[in-house]
Amino acid sequence: MRWLFVFSLLVLLTVGGVMGLLVGYRWMTSMQADVKVVPGEMVLVPPAGAVPREGGELVVSREAYAARKNPLPRTPESAKRGEKLYAIYCTPCHGATGKGDGPVTPRFIPPPDLASPQVQARSDGHMSYYIGYGGAIMPAYGEALSVTERWDLVNYLRTLARK
């Protein structure tokens, strides 16, 4: 009788232990079955009607940005603000007159003449995109300039053709 009790107790403990392990195994592997999103792999689109509370502008394609209209009117005040920004950020490469004769250009690929008809034919959005996001040889100034400052700079660039 004693052997029956010991045998029953061993079977009960074995079955209970195996069941406990199976329940624990389910919880240990549940994260392996979940859907994973690797950081930086996928950008989630905000729901319709969402209003941003902080951060900068949304990054769009070059073509979509080129289609944007300048929200700032071309006033002398805006061009004056743009001229100050031009002296700080653009003069080293493009020169004081925008001809591409800045002091650093002998060591680099010469930048385009900003007063040329080819450059002036580009849309305001195209110019603002290149100021903010850069190009093949032009650095991006989106971190240094606000969106409004970029449009002021575009308004100043439009005055270069008349000089």
How far is 122 from 73, CA to CA, in rounded Å?
Answer: 17
The CATH class of the 62-160 domain is mainly alpha
User: Domain spans of the chain?
Assistant: 62-160
State the pLDDT at residue 73. 92
- Surface-to-core class of residue 4, CB atoms within 10 Å of its CB (0-12 exposed, 13-18 middle, 19+ buried): exposed
* CA distances, 67 to each of 124, 129, 132 (Å): 8, 10, 15
CA 131, distance to chain mean position in Å, is 14
Question: pTM for the complete prediction?
Answer: 0.65
The pLDDT averaged over each successive group of 10 residues in the chain (163 residues) is 83 82 65 71 78 72 87 94 95 91 87 91 93 90 92 94 72
Residue 128, phi then psi, degrees to nearest 5: -65, -40
